[in-house]
Amino acid sequence: MNNVFKKPKKQSMYLPKHFTKVLVISLVLLCICMLASLALGSRLVVWDELIAGLFHPEIESYGASVVRERIPRTVFSLFCGAALGISGALMQSVTRNPIADPSILGVNTGAALFVVCGIAFLNISTASHYIWLAIVGAMLTAIFVYGIGSMGRAGATPLKLVLAGAATSAALSSLVSAIMLSRSYVMDQFRFWQVGSVGSANWNAILTFLPFLVIGIVLAIMSASALNALALGDDVATGQGVRTGILRIVAAFAGVILCGAATALAGPIAFVGLLATHVIRLILGPDLRFVIPMSAISGAIILTISDVSGRLIGSPGELEAGVVTAFIGAPLLIVLAIKMKVRSL
């Protein structure tokens, strides 16, 4: 892959300040989130039931069965959060926009439109079909938004990209509503998916999602050093041997397949990428060799906490994770837009 966009001159691999401490704390938080996801909900699970559900398949008590039912949900929330965290980091780097996120740039809505069209016109109902349609929709939307945002003398500025994404998202949302309103069966199938939730996860969906997650992570990690050079400007990156055009395509493709696959199975969950990446940049700095993997951990923590919080707040039912992340992410977006004045990375 380095032959495709050329690896820039060797960058020093000094660990950011407090990196080891942050990594340990993050991994501990991740473990706590996993245990909380398995134990908390409309039915609280005690320690003995948790151990029985995880390590003693011969025990078939109600509490142990509840734990086993929650395992795929927990695994999927971790995978989906990691995918959205990395996708946010990649989109911010490729567009050099500090508030870029799949939901803000309209990519989630593009994926949603194609899924709705698949349900309405192709009668699809399987996770594998959802994923391919969502990826195509996300990819076409990303290209369209970037093309619109690049028009004019200044090129693709952060503000123009956000405005293009907001306008595109509004237009595509109208199309989604128009398709659903005349087809009640599509609305029934789509309405719970639309708010964003990991509650319907199963092992088949996870296995379908896993190859896209692995491909996206590999491409993201391989692009990290070159994206660091790109952050200094196209001229500097080109001078260091980076093929900026191909790099943007590869990194954007990785971000789109991560976002599209997660959106196909969990629905358009907003702001996870924005939250995860900004937390990590604030603590560790801008080096993407550390931001990308730590954004994966941060995204997994954020989505899992949101899912558990939704279960506790909505008990005995549940509040979908997408609603919780929107409550947290929308105020953060406003604060970032005011403080950072939507400047470029």
Residue 98 near residue 162 (C-beta atoms within 8 A): no
Nearest Cα to Cα of residue 342 among 169, 144, 166, 151? 166
Q: How far is the C-alpha of 263 from the C-alpha of 113, rounded, in Å?
A: 11
Q: Check residue 156 and report its DSSP letter.
A: S
Residue 56: inside a domain: no
Whether 23 is covered by a domain: the verdict is no
pLDDT (tens, 9 = 90+) of the chain, 345 residues, equals: 544 555 565 665 677 778 899 999 999 999 999 999 999 887 888 888 889 888 888 888 888 888 899 999 999 999 999 999 999 999 888 877 777 777 777 888 888 888 888 888 888 777 777 888 888 988 899 888 888 877 877 666 667 777 888 888 889 888 888 888 777 767 766 766 666 677 777 888 899 899 999 999 999 999 998 898 888 777 887 887 788 778 888 988 899 899 888 888 887 787 888 888 988 988 888 899 999 999 999 999 999 999 999 888 877 777 888 888 888 777 776 776 666 554 445
* Buried/exposed code over 278-312 (b: 16+ C-beta within 10 A; e: otherwise): bbbbebbeebbebbbbbbbbbbbbbbbbbbbbbbe
- Please tell me the predicted confidence (pLDDT) of residue 342: 46
Asked whether residue 15 is domain-assigned, the answer is: no
C-beta of residue 101 within 8 angstroms of C-beta of residue 166: no
Domain count, the chain: 1
Measuring CA to CA, how many Å separate 282 from each of 22, 29, 225, 293? 12, 18, 19, 15
DSSP 343: -
Residues 6+ apart with CB under 8 A from 147: none
Residue 3's pLDDT is: 44
Alpha-carbon dihedral of residues 169, 171, 172, 177, nearest 10 degrees? 120
Separation in Å, CA 266 to CA 78, 91, 157, 224, 341: 12, 20, 30, 27, 32
Q: What is the pTM of this model?
A: 0.86
pLDDT value for 9: 59
Does residue 82 belong to any structural domain of this protein?
yes
Task: Collapse the DSSP code of 342 into the 3-class scheme (helix H, G, I; strand E, B; otherwise coil) and give the result.
Answer: coil
pLDDT at 282: 85
Cα separation of 162 and 164, whole Å?
Answer: 5
For residues 343 and 98, the answer to whether their CB atoms sit within 8 Å is yes
Which strand (E) or helix (H) includes residue 336?
Answer: helix 321-340
How many CB atoms sit inside 10 A of residue 86's CB? 31
Given a contact cutoff of 8 angstroms between Cβ atoms, the answer to whether 179 and 173 are in contact is no
Of 188, 205, 177, nearest in space to 80 by CA:
205
- The answer as to whether 306 is a domain residue is yes
Give the gyration radius of the chain's Cα atoms. 20
Q: Which of 145, 142, 83 is nearest to 111 (CA)?
A: 142
CB-CB neighbours of 29 under 10 Å = 16
| Cα atoms in the Cβ-side hemisphere of radius 13 Å centred on 240 | 21
* Domain annotation covers residue 50: no
> Does 31 map to a domain?
no
Residue 195 makes CB contacts below 8 A (sequence gap 6+) with: 267, 320, 322, 323
The answer to whether 302 and 325 are in contact (CB under 8 A) is yes
Domain CATH for 209: 1.10.3470.10
Residue 331: inside a domain: yes
**pLDDT given for residue 316 in this prediction:** 77
* Confidence at residue 324, expressed as pLDDT on a 0 to 100 scale: 86
Res 260: pLDDT:
86
The structure tokens listed for 230 are 């790109």
What is the span of the domain harbouring residue 146? 71-340
